């Protein structure tokens, strides 16, 4: 993988471009994809964003979201567009299996592949150009850097700003996580200078849910949370029946794991949800506990030092039992 700056001259040559991201895209994935989209179309490129799966309803307000192709829903259309792509941007993931059923098609695509991502251990050999920086707050911050450093900061309009602000805001916990560096705040100041309304972004992301989601959160906190003070750890296990009872859809569980870290003294929070095909884990930590290594070691996952995900093909009961066993190995680290 060559340095991304070597690709900058090619931005001047209009091309057929596909942008894609990980399955079940979150605010950073969708924000970076659409932010890059609105930038590239200004340069004369023909651009399509393809998502491997559907996305949360609270992201559908974003400018350009109605143009995104859902691979699971429109497979033939997506493959036809991908077959003609000359340039493929891969955002907010660094290994093809994070794209679910799109994986084999991305690997086989005969085009220039570019990585922009901030997770650990990238699949560098799969990309022609790219940048991987784990010190960055979000992929949206990296797309902002890409635009500015390539000499096109004049192309940051209100649509680009809304999209990039969304990803930075969500991935930094509304700017409270350590990743919200000075450079992040300088970026936000620049975005504000173009005149977009950040309040609208907050309202669409955080104040845009149905009543059932709030009732689900209350139920889960009351009935599905366990606290292990001897390990400074909290666990929440959500069953398939819970999802059906409260009509939970993609995105409704977003942020649920963060409630666990609001408990005084808790350094590690773990949420597992019983999905149809697998059990999905979300891990969050405070301080020097490495959630990424924990996820990679025990639950086929990974991510960031203080925020990671994982999976299990076992039953919900068995994967919870496994967690309760392995957490004992970390008693000293969690003190």
Residue whose structure tokens are 């450093």 = 149
pLDDT value at residue 292 = 93
Domain ranges of the chain: 2-206, 211-330
What CATH number matches the domain at 211-330, 1.10.1530.10, 3.50.50.60, 3.30.750.80, 3.10.310.30? Answer: 3.10.310.30
pLDDT value at residue 77 = 97
Average pLDDT of the residues in 10-17:
97
Average pLDDT of the residues in 144-162:
97
Strand partners, 312: 279
pLDDT value at residue 303 = 87
Average pLDDT of the residues in 19-33:
97
CA distances in angstroms from 229 to 264, 305, 327, 330, listed in the order given = 10, 22, 12, 13
Q: Where are the alpha helices (DSSP H) in 26-108?
A: 27-42, 75-83, 103-108
Residue whose structure tokens are 């959500």 = 238
**Residues in CB range of 258: below 8 A, 6 or more apart:** 173, 269, 284
pLDDT value at residue 250 = 85
pLDDT in tens, 89-145: 999 999 998 898 999 999 999 999 999 999 988 999 999 999 999 999 999 999 999
**Residues in CB range of 329: below 8 A, 6 or more apart:** none
pLDDT in tens, 160-192: 999 999 999 999 999 988 899 999 999 999 999
Statement: residue 277 has pLDDT above 90: no
pLDDT in tens, 292-304: 999 999 999 988 8
Q: Which strand (E) or helix (H) includes residue 168?
A: helix 158-171
Average pLDDT, the chain: 96
pLDDT value at residue 51 = 98
Which string of DSSP letters, residue by residue, matches 132-167? E-TTSS-HHHHHHHHHHHTT-GGG--HHHHHHHHHH
Statement: residue 276 has pLDDT above 90: no
pLDDT value at residue 233 = 98
For residue 96, give the nearest of 82, 76, 81, 77 by alpha carbon: 82
* Residues in the chain, total: 335
Tell me the pLDDT band of 258, cut-offs 50, 70 and 90: very high
Statement: residue 239 has pLDDT above 90: yes
**Where do the DSSP E strands lie in the chain?**
2-3, 16-20, 46-51, 69-70, 87-91, 112-117, 129-132, 225-228, 233-238, 268-274, 279-285, 302-303, 307-312
CA distances in angstroms from 273 to 22, 72, 93, 211, 267, listed in the order given = 18, 21, 21, 20, 20
What CATH number matches the domain at 2-206, 3.65.10.10, 3.10.450.240, 3.20.20.10, 3.90.1640.10? Answer: 3.90.1640.10
What phi and psi values does residue 315 have, to the nearest 5 degrees?
-70, 165
pLDDT value at residue 330 = 97
């Amino acid at each position: 993988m060559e340095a991304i700056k070597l690709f900058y001259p090619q931005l001047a040559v209009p091309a057929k471009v596909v942008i894609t991201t990980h399955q079940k895209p979150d605010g950073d994935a969708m924000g970076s994809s659409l932010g890059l989209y609105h930038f590239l179309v200004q340069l004369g490129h023909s651009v399509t964003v393809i998502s491997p799966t559907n996305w949360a309803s609270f992201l559908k307000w974003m400018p350009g979201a109605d143009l995104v192709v859902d691979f699971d829903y429109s497979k033939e259309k997506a493959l036809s567009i991908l077959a003609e792509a000359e340039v493929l941007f891969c955002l907010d993931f660094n290994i093809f299996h994070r794209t679910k059923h799109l994986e084999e098609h991305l690997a086989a695509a005969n085009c220039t592949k570019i990585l922009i991502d901030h997770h650990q251990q990238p699949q560098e050999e799969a990309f022609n150009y790219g940048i991987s920086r784990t010190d960055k707050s979000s992929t949206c911050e990296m797309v902002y850097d890409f635009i500015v450093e390539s000499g096109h900061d004049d192309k940051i309009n209100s649509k680009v700003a809304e999209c990039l602000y969304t990803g930075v805001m969500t991935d930094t916990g509304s700017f409270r996580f350590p990743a919200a560096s000075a450079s992040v705040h300088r970026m936000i100041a620049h975005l504000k200078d173009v005149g977009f309304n950040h309040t609208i972004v907050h309202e669409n992301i955080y104040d845009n849910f149905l009543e059932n989601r709030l009732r689900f959160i209350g139920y889960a906190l009351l009935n599905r949370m366990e606290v292990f003070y001897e390990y400074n750890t909290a666990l929440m296990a959500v069953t398939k029946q819970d999802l059906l009872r409260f009509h939970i859809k993609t995105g409704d569980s977003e942020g649920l794991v963060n409630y666990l870290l609001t408990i005084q003294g808790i350094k590690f929070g773990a949420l597992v949800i019983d999905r149809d095909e697998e059990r999905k884990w979300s891990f969050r930590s405070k301080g020097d506990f490495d959630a990424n290594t924990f996820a990679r070691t025990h639950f086929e996952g990974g991510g960031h030092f203080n925020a990671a995900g994982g999976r299990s093909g076992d039953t919900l009961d068995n994967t919870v039992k496994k967690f309760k066993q392995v957490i004992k190995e970390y008693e000293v680290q969690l003190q």
